[in-house]
Amino acid sequence: MVTVKQVQSKSDLKDFVKFPFSLYKGSPYWVPPIIKDEMESFDKSKNPVFENAEAEFFLAYKDNKIVGRIAAIINWLEVNDQGLKKMRFGWFDFVDDLEVSKALLDKVWEIGVANQLNYMEGPVGFSNLDKVGVLIEGFDHIGTMITWYNHPYYQKHYEHHGLVKEKEYLENKFPAANADPKLFEKANELIKKRYGLREMNFEKSADIMPWVDKMFDLFNESYARLSSFVRITDIQKEYFKKKYISFINPEFIKFVVDEEDNLVAFAIVMPSFSEALQKANGKLFPFGVFHLLNAKKNSKDVIFYLIGIHPKYQNKGVTAIIFNEYHYTFKKRGVVNCIRTPELEENMAIRQMWKHFDPVTHKRRRTYKKEL
């Protein structure tokens, strides 16, 4: 018999965070989070997302052993500002037992009905900067620090319990050598001249900080039309600024500004921390921090984390400026592979942007939906 209990204590929350460590023990593809960071992201006194969202966390037990977990989330910005009466769920992991996955989904269902919401969708996080989607293809590729990995049986569970495909996300990669400068060097100069634009490169994180709020404003503006988008609030900007910007190599952040220094485009690339996180196995100390610092300095794989372009400049070739700058940075750093974060299948603008680099789709993931 399966028993589901709500997470109440810090000890329960640690069990919630650590469950996948046993579920994926020995997997060469699963990338563990840093336990301390994961705990903090669920701490309602530390993560500002809880200003506009609420979450309940559940653990499933069978024979006194933890066999599954789920987070039930309501983002009130989404519900009230956008009128999307959606019950979110994420961090959904379970052994291959249909009774376990059903018991956890039933908890989400109950909360959604109690709050008079219309449907449930997952796996998703609190906002657009969180992980998204259950992996349905590409199980033999290593995960990243910004995606979930899961066993192949997960899809069967979603569909068995009556959830249907809602959104599909593609993950692509290409060799850095495919970014042939002949494709964008000439366009780079033409676009800059035509629109009065210039690139901005950075050597220190401190030089980026004054621009970060503008970057998140542009992020909100760039993605507002996408069906899954929930804007980032001012308090979240401060949180992400402190948590992430100093972690990214300054030369991997590129801005494009107009003649009045208005930000019109940005891109953030991260070194791949996947193998370093596997070595750290959830702990920064004593050696985890050294693995991460080594990856930050020496990783030959990079992840295109975010790209934002002002709607006024979309489809006008502004990305040629960004890619021209990355070409020089990647060449200097000896970057070999470029990996992209999950992108909505319906986002044709982003797919057009990458087409010249001959990307290969190596993973697919989905969110699933069920009416309440």
Asked if residue 93 and residue 162 are part of one domain, the reply reads yes
What pTM, to 2 d.p., does this model score? Answer: 0.94
Q: Which two tokens stand for residue 200?
A: 């901005």
pLDDT confidence of residue 234: 87
Contact 308, 265 (CB under 8 A): yes
Range of the domain at 344: 174-371
Radius of gyration of the chain (CA): 21
- Cα separations in angstroms, 194 against 48, 85, 191, 258: 41, 44, 5, 11
Domain boundary pick from 168, 194, 210 = 168
Statement to judge: residues 115 and 209 lie in one domain: no
- Whether 100 and 211 map to the same domain: the answer is no
Please tell me the predicted confidence (pLDDT) of residue 225: 76
Please indicate, yes or no, whether residues 296 and 212 belong to a single structural domain of this protein: yes
164 and 179 both lie in a single domain: no
Q: Enumerate the β-bridge partners of residue 122.
A: 368
* Predicted local distance difference test score (pLDDT) of residue 227: 64
CATH number at residue 74: 3.40.630.30
341 and 194 housed in the same domain: yes
The DSSP secondary structure of 266-284, one letter per residue, reads EEEEEE--HHHHHHHTT--
| pLDDT of amino acid 228 | 64
Closest C-alpha among 84, 19, 2 to residue 57: 19
Cα gap 194→180, rounded to integer Å? 23
Percent of the chain surpassing pLDDT 90: 80
Query: What share of the chain in percent tops pLDDT 70?
Result: 99
pLDDT at 166: 96
Q: Using 50 as the pLDDT threshold, list the residues of the chain that sit under it.
A: none
pLDDT at residue 243, rounded to an integer: 78
